[in-house]
Chain A
Amino acid sequence: MLRIAIQRLVMAIPILIGVTVIVFLLVNVLPGDPAAAILGDNATPAARVQIAHQLGLDQPLALRYLHWLGHILSGNLGYSPYRQRPVADLLTQAVGNTLALATASALVGLLGGVLLGFIAGRRRGTLTDRVISIVGLSGLSIPSFFLAVVLLMIFSANLRWFPAAGTGLDVSFVAFFPHVVLPLIAGSLTTLAITTRVTRASIVETEGSDFVLTLQAKGLGSTQISRHVLKNAISPVLTTSGLQVGYLLGGSILIETIFSWPGIGMLVYNAITTRDLIVVQGATLVVALTFVVVNLIVDLLQATIDPRLRRAVQ
């Protein structure tokens, strides 16, 4: 297993480098002058030149990228001239907030999706199955930002059941829970919907396997058969779960902005609008790394669960 993990991480290096090159190029071709964004519309030409020099913007693109990459390899994500803080500090703060929301969203979205998908699959063709399928389809169809605004209007503005902004973590750990409810619902709906549909499909396929007939012939009860079916159907669910967790950990710009949730999404949004390029680059690298690690964990989990996969990987 350790060998597999190391191999995967080594293979991820060129992927990460590729991601950084693409993002670097994209943010550096955005229209607008980063120095102007920092200084405002009264900036003098001398000030712009000075700031541009400080940021290294007067250097060739390739050289700037290599400088940045060199700093990354030495563990230095750089310094944000706009936020006047090390990028690592900004990311640490943002990642923590996104992690809190992502964990809650993943728990609800994945566990709820597996549960609903399992029920729908086991009761396929029934009214229960149809209702759950509609829920799943709705989750995929309703834009999360639209749902976020609707939840805000109903449950915050009108009913005042939940706060409209922030994490609550600056007040206390307990205050986190009411603050996370609405962004969690808005942010986990897609995960819930996808997981439900994948689980249902996998359950339906697994139930058509010969071994299920064997179990029934042997006289096992419905509950026992359900357990076996779920164990064998979980593999594709794990795969999509990995992607969903990676997506959640990357932070949702829209959800975080609407709910003033100071996570990676909001950090990147602010960085793009203020042309804080080094923050965009650093955040993208972190998100890409997150995807790589999460999917590696999923691969390892799958290999642990299913020896067929383990033998194939080895």
Chain B
Amino acid sequence: MAGDGTLPPTLSRRTWTGFWKTAVLITVLITAASLTSACMSVAGGAPSSGKNGAGGTLRIAMSAGNIPFPTTPPDQGYEGYRFVGNNIYDGLTKYNLDQNAAIPTPQPALATSWTVSPDQLTWTFNLRRGVTFHDGTPFNADAVIFQLNREDDPHFKYYDTLAAARLATYLIFFKNWRKIDDYTVSITTTQPYAWLLYDLAHVFFPSPTVVQTYGNANYNQHATGTGPFIMTKYIDGQVMELTANDHYWGGRPKLDKIVLYPQPVAASRVAMLQSNGVDWAEVPSPDAINQLRSQGYQIFMGEYPHGIMPRFNLFRAPFKGNVKLRQALNFALNRQGITALVNNVGYPAKQYVYPGHPNYDPAFPGYAYDPAKAKQLLADAGYQPGQLHLKFAYPTGGSGNMFPDPMMQQLQADFKAVGVDVELMPMEWSTIVSIGLTGLDKPEWSNIDILWSSPAAGQEPDGFMLNFLCQRPGGQPNAAGMCNPDVDRNYFAASREFDPRKSTGYLQKMMDAALTDADFLFWMHDLNLRVMSPSVHGFVQPKSWWVDFGKIWVGEQCCGSQSNG
């Protein structure tokens, strides 16, 4: 303040008056607009609904952190195949996902039939005629050869490095391929390989015209396949709309549209469902199930090839060469207790695959909770209570990992009860993946005794390659040091055996070897939890990570009660 008591120089009175008037006016306008728009959106914002057993828009809240890229193959793991890959594209084969009686197997798709040469090295595929890509380009042998070159020939002009890298595991046994005529192609493998049809279900075919027009770098915004749905809108990180393909060779799907939203937070997915923002929410929180059921939502759970099967570090002590120790920890685990903790969205695992799976051995009793036996085996293994201290690395989240935090805390208590101390090492899921690709024998990870693993346990027979083999054909490192000659021998025998029953027999022997040696912590089977609005009809929960959208339709938009119920 000036010495004469006059006011310090500031903005004029008119300016301040105008400022306040403007501020109040803006506030009033925003509030009015919000409330008006809120009323409009709740009252009139419902998407289209079908009737008479067809039609409607299905809105899905995925657990992925982003919309899967519509590349070939898509990213985001099996969630990418489930929602994007299998809808926009087809492979030469595809799984029969519209049933839940048995685990799906490869069926004719863009290939209608095939033969195998006497030496079992060359497969000849007869391609489906009259199929066009969404842009009108005809599907034929040229398109097949184009894509196989794009995925596996580094010298090809349109070779896609990233896609090739992601698909590499499924092309390990591909030696060469050629066009025989416009609707016949042959694929020669490096060895007799009975599971080629499973691998081909992962190889999708984009329109060569689109790839050539836009190039690999810009393909995503113009993704074009032959599949039952056409990508009609795609905003990276926000939304993807898939519109029914009226000319789909397998018959037009019943739905008019699928809309995909990414939402990695379970509570938010549930809120999106309850607010009528979506009709389908993946993996809600287990503790929300009772409320959702009481509100009339459809809760889907069912056995499918997915488990939590942590791997012991078999490169060194204490687990290397110590079968009794590994067995002891398997008997120390109170699986029922953990099942109750996660509100029964999983169930105890006795073996690597679920009971009823083709590779499940009913003759093997498996592992169950028996702390007395665990203590005895621990002593036999050379450890008294309190002597063993283990480090267990696990993810804090990640799609397909169920609910690691509470599960791990229960495990820690179970092991403590038999005298084994466990230090929990929470990590990001991408770090766990990195460890799996680097190996527990590397200095930076060698202090980890047990590594979390959540395999698609038995979705495809070649999937066992990831965790079981001493040396993987693709050259991937042996992550946990498991090296059981019986396992490897039976796996490769199964892969060469074209008689399904004999192949299954080899895989069961492989399982027996791994079970006897307790090479894994056989922990939990997941029950594939998802929840849908009562307006969703025709959904069949298959025994698979993937889903068929062809027979689903959405009726009148009526969602559960608005009570807290």
Give the contact stretch, choosing among B236-244, B316-324, B377-385: B236-244
Does A12 make an interface contact (CB < 8 A)?
Answer: no
B344 to chain A, nearest CB (A): 23
> Contacting B433 at CB < 8 Å: which of A40, A153, A162, A170?
A40
Find the B residue at minimum CB distance from A167.
Answer: B238
Complexed CA–CA distance, A294 and B275 (Å): 37
Does B276 make an interface contact (CB < 8 A)?
Answer: yes
A286 to chain B, nearest CB (A): 16
Find the A residue at minimum CB distance from B239.
Answer: A170
Q: Knowing A84-B69, A274-B430, A306-B10 are in contact, say whether A40-B5 is a contact too (CB < 8 A).
A: no
Give the contact stretch, choosing among B35-43, B94-102, B111-119, B362-370: B35-43
Q: CB-CB contacts of B463-500 with A at 8 A, as 1s and 0s?
A: 00010000000111100000000000000000000000
User: B5 to A164, Cβ gap below 8 A?
Assistant: no
User: A39 to B166, Cβ gap below 8 A?
Assistant: yes
In the complex, chain B residues 423-441 whose Cβ is within 8 Å of any chain A Cβ: 427-431, 433-434, 436-438
Chain A hits for B562, CB < 8 A: 158-160
User: B162 to A81, Cβ gap below 8 A?
Assistant: yes
Complexed CA–CA distance, A303 and B548 (Å): 65
Chain A hits for B239, CB < 8 A: 166, 170
Complexed CA–CA distance, A34 and B326 (Å): 32
User: A164 to B275, Cβ gap below 8 A?
Assistant: yes
> Contacting A37 at CB < 8 Å: which of B61, B430, B474, B476?
B430
Complexed CA–CA distance, A165 and B449 (Å): 41
User: A163 to B433, Cβ gap below 8 A?
Assistant: no
B70 to chain A, nearest CB (A): 11
> Contacting B434 at CB < 8 Å: which of A31, A51, A107, A175?
A31
Does A71 make an interface contact (CB < 8 A)?
Answer: no
Does A262 make an interface contact (CB < 8 A)?
Answer: yes
Q: CB-CB contacts of B149-166 with A at 8 A, as 1s and 0s?
A: 000000000000110111
User: A231 to B220, Cβ gap below 8 A?
Assistant: no
Does A222 make an interface contact (CB < 8 A)?
Answer: no
B89 to chain A, nearest CB (A): 17
In the complex, chain A residues 120-179 whose Cβ is within 8 Å of any chain B Cβ: 149, 152-153, 156-168, 170, 174-178
User: B267 to A93, Cβ gap below 8 A?
Assistant: no
A30 to chain B, nearest CB (A): 8
Chain A hits for B564, CB < 8 A: 158
Does A307 make an interface contact (CB < 8 A)?
Answer: yes
Give the contact stretch, choosing among B22-30, B178-186, B327-335, B411-419: B22-30
Complexed CA–CA distance, A157 and B269 (Å): 10
Complexed CA–CA distance, A161 and B562 (Å): 11
User: B164 to A47, Cβ gap below 8 A?
Assistant: yes
Chain B: interface residue total (CB-CB under 8 A): 76
A104 to chain B, nearest CB (A): 7
Q: Which of A41, A54, A178 has the most CB of B within 10 A?
A: A41
Find the A residue at minimum CB distance from B168.
Answer: A44
User: A181 to B38, Cβ gap below 8 A?
Assistant: yes
> Contacting B268 at CB < 8 Å: which of A111, A178, A260, A274?
A260
Chain A hits for B217, CB < 8 A: 84
User: A211 to B168, Cβ gap below 8 A?
Assistant: no
Does B524 make an interface contact (CB < 8 A)?
Answer: no
Chain B hits for A51, CB < 8 A: 161-162, 165
Does B271 make an interface contact (CB < 8 A)?
Answer: yes
B563 to chain A, nearest CB (A): 8
User: A46 to B475, Cβ gap below 8 A?
Assistant: yes
Q: CB-CB contacts of A262-276 with B at 8 A, as 1s and 0s?
A: 100011011001110
Does B65 make an interface contact (CB < 8 A)?
Answer: yes
> Contacting B165 at CB < 8 Å: which of A50, A167, A257?
A50
User: B27 to A111, Cβ gap below 8 A?
Assistant: yes
Complexed CA–CA distance, A199 and B7 (Å): 20
Complexed CA–CA distance, A276 and B438 (Å): 19
Q: CB-CB contacts of A73-98 with B at 8 A, as 1s and 0s?
A: 00000000101110000100110000
Does B16 make an interface contact (CB < 8 A)?
Answer: yes
Does B51 make an interface contact (CB < 8 A)?
Answer: no
Chain B hits for A30, CB < 8 A: 431
Complexed CA–CA distance, A39 and B430 (Å): 11
Complexed CA–CA distance, A48 and B26 (Å): 54
User: A152 to B268, Cβ gap below 8 A?
Assistant: yes
In the complex, chain B residues 39-66 whose Cβ is within 8 Å of any chain A Cβ: 40-42, 45, 61, 65-66
Does B33 make an interface contact (CB < 8 A)?
Answer: yes
User: B41 to A163, Cβ gap below 8 A?
Assistant: yes
> Contacting A93 at CB < 8 Å: which of B13, B41, B237, B477?
B237
21 contacts between A and B (CB under 8 A): A31-B427, A37-B433, A40-B433, A42-B474, A42-B476, A43-B166, A83-B66, A84-B162, A156-B272, A156-B277, A158-B274, A160-B274, A166-B239, A166-B277, A170-B238, A177-B37, A178-B42, A227-B16, A231-B10, A260-B261, A306-B8
- Show the binding face of A for B, using Cβ within 8 Å: 30-33, 36-48, 50-51, 54, 81, 83-85, 90, 93-94, 104, 107-108, 111, 149, 152-153, 156-168, 170, 174-178, 180-181, 209-211, 214-215, 227-228, 230-232, 257-260, 262, 266-267, 269-270, 273-275, 305-308
> Which 10 pairs, one residue from A and one from B, show the smallest C-beta to C-beta distance?
A47-B165, A157-B274, A178-B38, A42-B169, A32-B431, A156-B275, A177-B37, A164-B271, A32-B434, A33-B434
- Show the binding face of B for A, using Cβ within 8 Å: 1, 5, 7-11, 13, 16, 23, 26-27, 30, 33-34, 36-38, 40-42, 45, 61, 65-66, 69, 71, 75, 77, 161-162, 164-166, 168-169, 217, 220, 235-239, 261-265, 267-268, 270-272, 274-277, 427-431, 433-434, 436-438, 444, 466, 474-477, 562-564
